[in-house]
Structures are given as structure tokens and as C-alpha cells.
Chain A
Amino acid sequence: MSLPSRPGADLLAIEEAAHEFLSHEYGFTRRRADLQDNGRHDRTLWHRFAELGWLGLSLPEDRGGAGGGPAESWMLLQQLGAHLVLEPYLSSVAICGWSLVAYGRADVRDRLLPELAAGRAQLALAHDEPGRDHPDAPSAVATPQNGGWRVHGHKAVVLGAPTADHLLVSATCDNQRVVLLIRADEAAVTIRPYRLIDGRKAGEVRISGARVGPDELVAIGADADTLLEVSRLAGALGCVAESVGVMKAALAATADHLRARRQFGQPLAAFQALRHRVADMHIACEEADALGWRATQAFGAADPTERFLAIAAAKSQVGDMARKVCEEAVQLHGAIAITDEFPVGHYLKRAVVNERLFGNSELWTQRFTETAFGWI
């Protein structure tokens, strides 16, 4: 009851500024050029994000951030989704950054977070493995050696891996989980880069005998479990935030199209069958926004059960809602939306990827059911 029911003026200002910047600097044409530029990792835009204060927005002030919380990122991530931004904010800042803010060894955090906020380092979480999402016992193995570890393993579809400077790698070490920091350019690490269907960069990470020193330990045992769970919640919430931005943008584009396009001698917006579909798209956007906002509030809240339930609730529904709204956007635009040079289909691509990453709708519905009702 006492939490704000909607973003206040300060948060809306962040959204407005992000929209302003991205509208001018990140048009669809610019984005297409980025997409065709395979293999080159241009950090110009990333550095602009750092200058704008976006990278440190939700990181603590004593580690180079602006001291904001999840609510600030909620606003920013929606805009990154709405403008289909390809930069690895979600993987680097939301997933790795937020997890490190509260969890993991202090000296690793002290080293990494200022680098992250300043745009000098990109991070990626290497946790999922082929056929195993969010493994409880990773197949990747860390063998103790000379006070440090030797790591072998294969990490699947690692978001942001091709551009990352450091990987946070999960592994099994003596029956417990461990999270280690490994440089991406290390000889024992090979990254097979590719793009996901929405254009974002990811890759297969193979680690064969990487030596990791004791200073590179991020977390072990229960601490590692907590960090990985938080990273998953952060990833889930980040996907929700992006997708809410995506679906609102898809709805706005559809509304514009229906008003402008004339068939049978009248604007498409005059047909009630279409109007009701737009109404349902709007309802979905508002519901998704409400679920996401509540999850954002809960992410920073003290009650771990409510945090889990709120994020599970959002991730279990928003992915499908966003996909449905984007499918409707494609349908209501007609054939033009099937072409790759038209933006609307790209909303659908982004929604599809966000639904799948960090646990899909079905998995989170299952997890919600277990925690909310205790029925296994």
C-alpha cells in the first residue's frame, strides 16, 4: 500500500531523456548499419551511455554510480527496449552489475563496479549450459590448484559474451557452486560469437583449463547460490522491463498505422473489429506495466518472498503478453511488417528473445505456483 503505484516525476524525467537521446542518436537506419557490421565492436555508443550516466544509474555512489535503484533502470530499460537498442546494457549492467552490488566478494565488487559505471569494462554472465538453463550443479568444473582454480566447461548462449571484457563463470567445485571472474581474452577461453534472432550479440563460451587466481573468486557455496539466483531475478526483471517498452512501442506504431492507412475508403482505425484488438493490446500493455512496476519495487524490497513472487509473476506473464501484442502489431500492419527493413517485426523479435531468456513464461509460472501456493 505504501509503495508508489506509479513512477514519479523524477523517474519520468529519466525516461523522457532516454527517449530524447535514442530518438535522435539511434534511429532505425543507424541500428541497421550496426547490425550489418559483423565482428567489429565499436564502443562509441557505449561510452556515450557512460557519459549520460546510464551505466552507473542504478549502481552505488561510492562505486562510481549515481546511487539510483531498480526503478531508475526500469525506466531506462523500457526505452532501450522501445528503441531496440543492441548495446549489452541488460547483460552487463542489469545482470552482472546489480548482482555484484549486493553479493560477491567485496574486493571484486570494488574493482569491477567503477569500471562498469565508467564504461571501461563490459561483463557477461556465463551460467547456462547446453540443454541446462540455470543449472544447480554446473557441468563446468573448477578444480582447486595452487590456491586458485583450473576451469573447464562449455557455457551456452551467453548474452553479451562477444563484447565482454570479463566473464562471470559459474562452475562446480567440490559439490558446491562457485562463481569466478575470467578474462574473455584469456588463451584458454574461446568464444564463438553470433547474433540472436533479434540482433543482440551472444556466443558459445568454451573454457579449457583456464587458470584462475584466488583474487578472481567472486562467490562460493551459499554466496554463489545467492548471487546466481539474484542474477536470474535481475535478468528476468530486465527482460520484463525491456519487453514492456517494446510492447508499448509496438502499440504506438500500430495506432499510428491504423489512423493513417486507408482501405475500403476509410481509415483502418474506423473498423470496430480492429479497434477492439487495439483495446486488448492496450489492456495487455497496462497489465504488463503494472506487473513490471510491482516487480521493480519488490526487487529492492526487504521481503525475499515478495521479491520472488513479484518478479516471477511479471516474468511469467509479460513475455507472452509482449509476444502477443507484437504479433498483433505485425498482423494489423499487414504485409509491410513481414519485411525486415520495417521496424515492427523487430519488436516481435525482441519480445521473443526476452520471453525465452532467464526462464520462459512456463517455468516462471511453475515457480510462482510453488512459492505462492506451496503445491509442488
Chain B
Amino acid sequence: MGGVPAADELDGFRAEVRGFLTSALPRALAARAKAGHTLSRDELMFWHRVLHERGWVAPGWPRDYGGAGWTILQRHIFDEESARAGAPSVIPMALTIVGPLLIAHGTDEQRARYLPRILDGSEIWCQGWSEPEAGSDLASLRCHAERVGDEYVINGTKIWTTFAQWADRCMLLARTASGDRRQFGITILLVDMRRPGVSVRPLPSLDGMHVLNQVYFDDVRVPVSDRVGLEDQGWGLLKSTVGHERILNADVGRARAMLDRLIRIVQAGPGAQPGLRIRIARAAIRFRALETLVLRALDSPDPANASGASLIKVRGTELQQELSWLMSEALGLYGLPLLPDVMQDGWQDETPIGPEDAATVTPFYLFWRKASISAGTSEIMRNLIAQQVLGR
């Protein structure tokens, strides 16, 4: 592997990350993140700006564009250490998708206009990809953009749009042509969410929280200068940009943090039933397997296209889901009270109901059913795995 840092350099890198987290991450914020409280926009953007000042907010971008220029292995280490320390996960869409897309395929003007504002956190982005009738079969999307003079006029709707309620801009996949090959005729447009005709409907998730939205576009006008790449050719650009994310999706750091929290819950309580202990042990063992599988994928000559990526996505998300359930089970009856204020802010009064942090656990279990659905469902992943084993 050319250009990959040697093991001792990586140890040094890990130490550097750890040192930074120790000094820069406020304890109160870390405690809230570790306890699973829903972080506010201000808290998330605070951490975004701290990372930006350190030059680490865009780990995968090249340094020339203000990124950290890290390898995927360094990003993995950073994620792992961040989760261990209880650092918030910054709002990812602009950093992992929009930035790399513009760097690879945007115009100079687009890069100059958007990248600095992504980096300093002055603009939040969302992704307008899925539609009510286009989920796993994304290429069947129908949200329509029609070229009128120097503008596109957009009509249609997007769904499951994370943080659309905060977003200043949307990276939109719109249909500009239809034909036999559905991947053709998709165009990437950068839409100002404050334009007339854009409206956002909240879709509270099973935990009662508001992260997801449906977005409607009603004669929304976007200048042609906000098109990325050529008209009708967006699908190819997208495929070349979305790649490594699947390995990082396994989120070993998150799983480790969950496992640690599970063990804390059990140790603080009256003790787990033997059956539960055995299942916790199995989850801990599955975690060990996942660690090795992720290292193997990261260690392969071409991590972005590593054949293990789908497998890791499936197992990583299933493991997180299992851990989220075991936490709930370990709490027994106190996994059941629904306490929205406590989920948000923790206990503010003297007489807590059940153990500290209990209120966030079962809602998270419910919310996290999403992990095996978003970014490629487990069924799509199994299709890809079967293709490797059986051929088409």
C-alpha cells in the first residue's frame, strides 16, 4: 500500500487525536453525548467549529481544499477515538458527500463559493436523494427539473431528508430526462433551501425526535451555475463519489462506545440474568470479529472498493442494533418510561425515574432500526454479497 503510514506513525497519530480530544472536548458535552442525549444544533455546530479550527472537520478532503487529507485508516482511527471520548458526530452530509463531489466534479466557482462555508459551518447541507417511490431503487427517482433559460425549475418531493429543517442548501438528485436506462437523465443540482417553493415537513421518528423530513419543491428555480457536472450525467458522478463511506459506516467506534455503555448499565444495576449475560458475551465476540473485518477491509489495496464493505455494513449495523436492544433489556422496567425532556437534557430535578441515562436507551433502540435501512438496506447489501459469491 503506497503512501500508507507505518504502524508506529499510526500510533503517533492516535496519540495526537487522543491529546486533542482530551484538551478540546468539554466534559459536559462528552457526558451528554455518551449518555445518548439528543444534541442541539448549537452543540453540534460548536464541535464542528472546534474541529474546523484544528483543521480536522473535513477528514477526507485533500489539504488544498482545507481538508485534513487523511487516509481512510486515519479516518477510522479518528472516528474510533472520537467515539471513545464521547465526541459528538458532526452533521455529515456536506463533509462526506457534497464536499468530495464538488472537489472532484464542481466548477472553480462552485468550490470557491461553497467549500469555505461548509468548512466553517456557516452553511448546513442536506441530501435530496430518496423519494416516496424511490428508496432502494434510487434510480427510479421522479423529482423533476426542467431547463428554462438559465434556470432549472424543480417540481417534486424528497423524503427521509436528515436535518432539512436546519439546512441552508440541498444537494438534489433531479430527473431531467427519462428513457430506457433509468440511471441516465439524473442531474445533480445545488438548491438554496430558502428559495420560494421549498417547504419542509417534519417526520418525527419512532423515538419522537425530529431528524427526518419530507421536502417539497414547487416551481423552485435554481440557476444553471448550480448544476454539478453535465446535465443527465449525475448518477455516474454520484457512484464515483460514494464509496468508502460503507466501511466507515460499520462505525466500530460507535459499537465500542455502545458496548461500554451496555456494560456500565449492567454493572450499575442489580446484575444481568444468565441468559442476558450470554447474549452480551456473544455481542462482545461479534464486536471482536467486526474489528478484524474492518481492519482487513482498510488494509486492502483499494479500501473504497473492498469486497468486504457490504458485509461490514450489514454486520456493523446489525451489531449496533443488537447492542441497543441489550441496553434496553438490561434496564428492565426502567427501559419503558417515555420522558422526552430527559432524553433531551438529562435529569434536572432531584428525583430521577430509574437509573441515570435510562430515558435515552429504548428510544435509541427504536430510532436505530434505521441503521439497517439507510445507506443501503441490509437486503441490498445481501444482494451485493450474493453477487460476489454466486455471480449475477
Q: Is the CB of A294 within 8 A of B390?
A: no
* Residue A329 interfacial (CB < 8 Å): no
Q: Is the CB of A286 within 8 A of B311?
A: yes
Within 8 A of A (CB), among B368-392: 379, 381-383, 385-386, 388-391
Query: Which one of B54-62, B173-181, B271-279, B341-349 contacts A?
Result: B271-279
Closest to A268 in B: B390
Q: Is the CB of B308 within 8 A of A286?
A: yes
Closest to B312 in A: A286
* Residue B292 interfacial (CB < 8 Å): yes
Residues of A within 8 A of B381 (CB): 279
Q: Is the CB of B296 within 8 A of A5?
A: yes
Interface string of A322-343 (1 = CB under 8 A from B): 0000000000000000000000
Q: Which of B278, B284, B299 contacts A5 (CB 8 A)?
A: B299
Closest to B294 in A: A5
Q: Is the CB of A1 within 8 A of B11?
A: yes
* Residue A278 interfacial (CB < 8 Å): yes
Residues of B within 8 A of A310 (CB): 288
* Residue A35 interfacial (CB < 8 Å): no
* Residue B28 interfacial (CB < 8 Å): no
- A39 to chain B minimum Cβ distance, whole angstroms, is 42
Q: Is the CB of A2 within 8 A of B391?
A: no
Q: Is the CB of B285 within 8 A of A375?
A: no
Q: Is the CB of B382 within 8 A of A375?
A: no
Q: Is the CB of A5 within 8 A of B295?
A: yes
Q: Is the CB of B282 within 8 A of A365?
A: yes
Q: Is the CB of B289 within 8 A of A275?
A: no
Within 8 A of B (CB), among A247-277: 251, 255, 258-259, 269, 272, 275-276
Q: Is the CB of A287 within 8 A of B286?
A: yes
Q: A1-B11, A283-B315 are in contact. Are A275 and B386 (CB under 8 A)?
A: yes
CA distance A310 to B292 in the complex (A): 12
* Residue B7 interfacial (CB < 8 Å): yes
Which of B288, B289, B296, B379 neighbours the largest number of chain A CB atoms within 10 Å of its CB?
B289
Closest to A369 in B: B281
Q: Is the CB of A316 within 8 A of B390?
A: no
Residues of A within 8 A of B285 (CB): 291, 313, 316-317, 365, 368
CA distance A210 to B379 in the complex (A): 62
* Residue A16 interfacial (CB < 8 Å): no
* Residue A32 interfacial (CB < 8 Å): no
Residues of B within 8 A of A1 (CB): 7, 10-11, 295
Residues of B within 8 A of A276 (CB): 379, 382-383, 386
* Residue B314 interfacial (CB < 8 Å): yes
- A297 to chain B minimum Cβ distance, whole angstroms, is 9
Q: Is the CB of B271 within 8 A of A375?
A: yes
* Residue A280 interfacial (CB < 8 Å): yes
Q: Is the CB of B383 within 8 A of A294?
A: no
Q: Which of A5, A275, A287 contacts B382 (CB 8 A)?
A: A275
Within 8 A of A (CB), among B131-167: none
CA distance A368 to B296 in the complex (A): 24
* Residue B90 interfacial (CB < 8 Å): no
Residues of A within 8 A of B290 (CB): 290
* Residue B193 interfacial (CB < 8 Å): no
CA distance A293 to B291 in the complex (A): 12
CA distance A276 to B293 in the complex (A): 20
Q: Is the CB of B282 within 8 A of A293?
A: no
- A269 to chain B minimum Cβ distance, whole angstroms, is 5
CA distance A231 to B271 in the complex (A): 33
Q: Which of B280, B296, B379 contacts A290 (CB 8 A)?
A: B296
* Residue A23 interfacial (CB < 8 Å): no
Closest to B293 in A: A290
Q: Is the CB of A290 within 8 A of B299?
A: no
Q: Is the CB of B7 within 8 A of A2?
A: yes
CA distance A282 to B285 in the complex (A): 18
Interface string of A344-376 (1 = CB under 8 A from B): 000000000000000000100110110011010
Which of A6, A251, A283, A362 neighbours the largest number of chain B CB atoms within 10 Å of its CB?
A283
Residues of A within 8 A of B389 (CB): 251, 255, 278-279, 282
Residues of B within 8 A of A375 (CB): 266, 271-272, 277
Q: Is the CB of B282 within 8 A of A5?
A: no
Within 8 A of A (CB), among B317-357: none
Q: A310-B288, A365-B278 are in contact. Are A259 and B391 (CB under 8 A)?
A: yes
Residues of A within 8 A of B10 (CB): 1
- B164 to chain A minimum Cβ distance, whole angstroms, is 33
Within 8 A of A (CB), among B298-317: 298-299, 308, 311, 314-315
* Residue B263 interfacial (CB < 8 Å): yes
Q: Is the CB of A291 within 8 A of B281?
A: no
Residues of B within 8 A of A272 (CB): 383
- B125 to chain A minimum Cβ distance, whole angstroms, is 34
CA distance A127 to B385 in the complex (A): 43
Residues of A within 8 A of B282 (CB): 316-317, 365
Q: Is the CB of B292 within 8 A of A293?
A: yes
Sorted nearest first, the 10 A-B pairs with minimum C-beta distance are A275-B386, A290-B292, A279-B382, A279-B385, A5-B295, A369-B281, A313-B285, A287-B289, A279-B386, A5-B296
- 27 A-B residue pairs with Cβ-Cβ distance under 8 Å, sorted by A, are A1-B7, A5-B296, A6-B296, A6-B299, A255-B390, A269-B391, A275-B383, A276-B386, A279-B382, A279-B386, A282-B389, A283-B315, A286-B308, A287-B286, A290-B290, A313-B285, A313-B289, A317-B289, A365-B281, A365-B282, A365-B285, A368-B281, A369-B278, A369-B281, A373-B263, A373-B277, A375-B266
Apart from the given pairs A287-B286, A317-B289, A373-B263, 4 other A-B contacts in the complex at a CB distance below 8 Å: A5-B292, A279-B382, A313-B284, A368-B285
